Chain A
Amino acid sequence: MVRSPQSPALSIHGLIKDVGPLSSLDGKMLRVVSGVSLTAERGQVTALLGANGAGKTTTLECAQGLQKRTGGSISLLGQDPDTAGAGLRSRVGVMLQDGGLPPSARPIPLLRHIAGLYARPWPLEDLVGRLGIDTFSRTSVRRLSGGQKQRLALAAALIGRPEVLFLDEPSAGLDPQSRQLVFDLIAELRDGGMGIILTTHLMDDAQRLADYVYIIDGGRNVAEGTVQELLQRSPVTGQAGGHVRTLLFEAPAGLDLAAVLPDGVDVSEARAGSYAVTGALTPRHLSALAQWWEANGIMPASMSLEARSLEDVFLDISGKDIR
């Protein structure tokens, strides 16, 4: 087994996954992933961001060897997860969305059991202390709160001191304190060289944690970049530009502002008299708008300038329809 420190933690090319046959589709197969390609580096947090059902978990499960892919290629630490054995599995930690812990188990014996499957596990007491598991070590899994369960599942994924860590919706059910604890640990592990791949539908998670983000929609990756790059992506052209902001103001209904502002800026009137100007706004835009207001005798009833969030980027890209 050749280990190349330079090889990425995970690289996926043109992943395709069909499931079925499904009776709801007259016995046809359903394509749930149709061409995801991504690279996750060591020492980075890579986030797969997408709505429920976008194909994030399926992509992860193909990478973990839990599901056999229909097409494409996957290289996890330089190996194919479909054919690799215990050697590869010992270098990869997995936290599943539903935890995957037996309800009747108690935290310490369970972790001790999993630790025994590795040659050099993370010292149990240290990990248990780091994640605050010692406060509920005698409670069976079924009686744990959502946050306690998540911390235990994270410990189970980390006990083998993996080089690559998969986290499926890591902040689900976490209270604010647990969330801080978990996020701090993830950042520390990342700084220590671990390649961390997580899925989330929470923009805030990605914005706080991710070094690189892939937006997954309808079974394919539709945008990628650092959080900064995505925030600077123009909602009009999809190209990188300046920092995108939105100017909101209330004024008389039916104003035709298109001619006032230069191209590359999006103007919409969501409700009558309620305007949103979105784009890489500069003082020149604000000045042009103010001059036009002055010339036409308009004083906005209210106005505010807002930085763009990852959520806005996400909604631009994947559309606003409920699916």
Chain B
Amino acid sequence: MSTAAIPETQQPASLLRRVLLQGKYEALTMLRNGEQLILAVVLPLLALVGLTVTPFLDGMGSSRINVAVPGILALCAMSTAFTGQGIATGFDRRYGVLRFLSTTPLGRGGLIAGKVLSVLVVLCLQVVVVGLVALALGWQPTAAGWLPGLALLALGAAAFTSLGLLVAGTVRPEATLAITNLLWILLGAMGGIVIPAERLPAAAQAVVHFLPSGALGESMRAAFLGGAVNGGAALILLLWTVIAGAAAIRWFKWN
């Protein structure tokens, strides 16, 4: 076996094992990347602290932090799924990593599944870190909010992953870097994700409800502040996922 004898017919590891391995590998790569960690954890925590010491959210709910945390969790999903995975995939494409891995038993489908899994793993860790810091700062989430909240967060991650892959698969990696970072800042500040639409300029309000950022931010606040499910916002997230996913499948260039 250690010499180069005639190979017996090789077989792939099981599909589940391949996807789990790729998910683990990509998640570890993301967590080892300093810039990604700043985007995924440090900036959301800074925003959380910022929103609890300023009066932006006063009058929106029972306390500043209770209004802030659902939006910060939504911001975490955008960081990891859209900007983080978008940039990583853009550069993987540049360096031929996507092409090489798609010739292994992993294949294109397994590669995408692994990327989605890595986003979910990193997002879970973000929820734990942000949640613990928030609880220490006095966050009191509605118990009934957890189930719809986490389900919406996963749906939001799916929408943002589709959008991230669409950008990464169609433009150069430098452009992906610029676009996903710029949109993170714009949507983070003005997209209704951490600051509710009501507090934004009137001109922005009409648009914000239909953005994935606004839909995720609003529905997360509805869940964690009142245990409610915002069906309209969930539908908008679902539409973004389907449309961006279909566009990514149609236009994604592997090389």
Contacts and interface: CB of A to CB of B under 8 A. Distances in A.
Nearest to A89: B105
Interface stretch (B8-16, B44-52, B215-223): B8-16
A90 B15 CA distance: 12
A229 to B, nearest CB: 27
A186 to B, nearest CB: 10
Contacts of B205: none
A189 interface: yes
A211 to B, nearest CB: 16
Nearest to B14: A119
Contact of B103 (A66, A126, A161): A66
Nearest to A93: B103
A126 B4 CA distance: 11
Interface in B215-242: none
A87 B104 CA distance: 10
A89 B11 contact: no
Interface in A6-23: none
Interface in B81-129: 91-92, 95-97, 99-107, 110
Contacts of A162: 7, 10
Interface residues of B, number: 39
Query: In this complex, which of B7, B12, B25 has the most chain A Cβ atoms within 10 angstroms of its Cβ?
Result: B7
A98 B110 CA distance: 22
What class of interface size applies to chain A in its complex with B? Answer: 35 or more
Contacts of A118: 10-13, 105
A183 to B, nearest CB: 13
Interface stretch (A109-117, A254-262, A313-321): A109-117
A161 B32 CA distance: 30
Contacts of B211: none
Contacts, number: 124
Contact of A163 (B10, B17, B106): B10
Contacts of A120: 8, 10-11
A230 interface: no
A192 B11 contact: no
A161 B95 contact: no
Contacts of A273: none
Contact of A89 (B2, B4, B12): B12
Given A86-B18, A89-B107, A123-B1, A66 B99 contact: yes
A318 to B, nearest CB: 26
Given A102-B92, A104-B33, A66 B4 contact: no
A102 B93 CA distance: 10
A86 B107 contact: yes
Contacts of B95: 98-103
Contacts of B139: none
A114 B97 CA distance: 12
A257 to B, nearest CB: 52
Interface string B5-35: 1111111110101100110010001001100
A117 B21 contact: yes
Nearest to B103: A94
B107 A188 contact: no
B62 interface: no
A104 B10 contact: no
A285 interface: no
A206 to B, nearest CB: 21
Query: In this complex, which of B13, B15, B17 has the most chain A Cβ atoms within 10 angstroms of its Cβ?
Result: B13
Given A66-B102, A86-B107, A100-B97, A194 B4 contact: yes
B153 to A, nearest CB: 28
B3 interface: yes
A64 B255 CA distance: 14
Query: In this complex, which of A89, A92, A126 has the most chain B Cβ atoms within 10 angstroms of its Cβ?
Result: A89
Nearest to B33: A104
B21 A113 contact: yes
Contact of A102 (B15, B29, B102): B29
B104 A116 contact: no
A35 interface: no
A65 interface: yes
Contacts of B6: 192-194
Given A89-B12, A160-B105, A96 B7 contact: no
Query: In this complex, which of B18, B21, B100, B254 has the most chain A Cβ atoms within 10 angstroms of its Cβ?
Result: B100
A91 interface: yes
A154 interface: no
A276 interface: no
Nearest to A97: B96
A85 interface: yes
Interface of A: 3, 64-66, 85-87, 89-92, 94, 96, 98-105, 113-114, 116-120, 122-123, 126, 156, 160-163, 185, 188-189, 191-194
5 contacts: A3-B9, A96-B100, A99-B96, A101-B100, A193-B6
Leading 3 A-B pairs by shortest Cβ distance: A100-B100, A193-B6, A100-B96
